[in-house]
Amino acid sequence: MEKCDVAIVGGGIAGLSVAKFLAEKGIPFILLEEHNDFFKKPCGEGVIQKTMGYDFYELYGSKKGVEKEIWETVIYTSYGKISVEMPIVMTDKRDVEAELARQAKKGGEIRMGEKVEDIKEGILLPQQVKPKIVIGADGVFSTVRKYAGIKKPKCGMAVEAYSKEVDLDNEKCHVIMRKDVVKYGYAWYFPKKDKWNIGVGSSKKKYFKESFEKFKEKNPGREWRGAFVPLDKPLKSYGKNAILIGDAAAHVLATLGAGITTSMIVANIAAEHIEKWAKNDYRNIEAALFEKEWRKTLGKYLKYSYYVKTFFFDVVKSEYLRYKLLAKMCRDTTDYYRKIMRK
């Protein structure tokens, strides 16, 4: 059996971010990623640059993989177009994850092709690794979350593909929110450097298949990739000697299905607490304080996003009222980002 101080399960954005932050603090770790390559969980690859006082570029510490910066998003509804201004960073997510891994390797070990199938008595199986603390960054179906005794989040579904055949303004992101396209969700066309990331997602699985088939007919010949997306209130993020980050704990903006910046923020907070625990040789892991801090920073924001999503799709049945509500939200968002981006 191999013993270590810190084991990170999952090598997506959340796991690689906490590994990077630990490496910067000189704290060794072992990261176990089930796949042999990066960017295995599909997404739109857009990152909200500014979130609750944090900046993606400052968290990331690089611009590798950044393909385009977008200021305006156009939302298409049955009652007209709505414009919202917010800073979106379009990335090549595989390059971003590879860069995070490069930075992380300066202080720890990354083992690819290592799937943690179970955890018994604190031992990661089949690897036979026993850490003092295990960080679950292993996604929606988290093995670490199951070990910690925490429920699974409510999920939606989404698919994405690449296209070079999109006749839209490539200096803007484009979102379609119409019932005839997808119910309880949206379709997207996000511009990258020389192609588009396109996709569709829904919070209701029973409507997703129909929406995907229609979207696929309009965009034939693509290689589609799909994933479950947590669309829930953030979960409890600790149990036993484990803490959770990212999709594993629903650190996602449920209105958008976006979780890159929020996961990096929680990863940064986790690294700060692990640094404190390391000074006492992990004899007093106060995981409740970790949870308290990230909830103080992001909790209201994430819960608000969940309740807005629920109200918008489950309570408001009229598309016209949704349009009016969305227009108000977009005006408020535009005002907010105009204000903070001037600072």
Q: Provide the residue-wise pLDDT of the chain in tens; the chain has 343 residues.
A: 999 999 999 999 999 999 999 999 999 999 999 999 888 888 899 999 999 999 999 999 999 999 999 999 999 999 999 999 999 999 999 999 999 999 999 999 999 999 999 999 999 999 999 999 999 999 999 999 999 999 999 999 999 999 998 999 999 999 999 999 999 999 999 999 999 999 999 999 889 999 999 999 998 877 899 999 999 999 999 999 999 999 999 999 999 989 999 999 999 999 999 999 999 999 989 999 999 999 999 999 999 999 999 999 989 889 999 999 999 999 999 999 999 887 5
201, 301, 326 from 311: Cα distances, Å? 18, 15, 12
For residue 339, the tally of other CB atoms under 10 A from its CB is: 9
Q: Which domains are delineated in the chain?
A: 2-341 (3.50.50.60)
Q: Find the distance separating the first CA and the last CA of the chain, reported in whole Å.
A: 53
Structure tokens at 78: 């049955």
What letter represents residue 82's amino acid? I
Could you give the CA distance from residue 308 to residue 85 in angstroms, rounded to a whole number? 19
Vertex 130, ends 125 and 135: CA angle to 5°?
85
Give Dmax over CA atoms of the chain in angstroms.
Answer: 62
User: What's 170-200 look like in SS3?
Assistant: CCEEEEECCCCCCCCEEEEEEECCCCEEEEE
Q: Are 147 and 119 in contact (CB under 8 A)?
A: yes
Q: What is the pLDDT of residues 282-331, one digit of tens each?
A: 998 999 999 999 999 999 999 999 999 999 998 988 999 999 999 999 99
Could you give the CA distance from residue 316 to residue 311 in angstroms, rounded to a whole number? 6
Structure tokens at 295: 């909830």
Q: What is the pLDDT of residues 162-198, one digit of tens each?
A: 999 899 999 999 999 999 999 999 999 999 999 999 9
Give me the sign of the Cα torsion angle 39, 250, 3, 102. positive
Mark 111-140 as b/e (b = at least 16 C-beta within 10 Å). Answer: eeebebeebeebbbeebebbbbbbbbbbbb
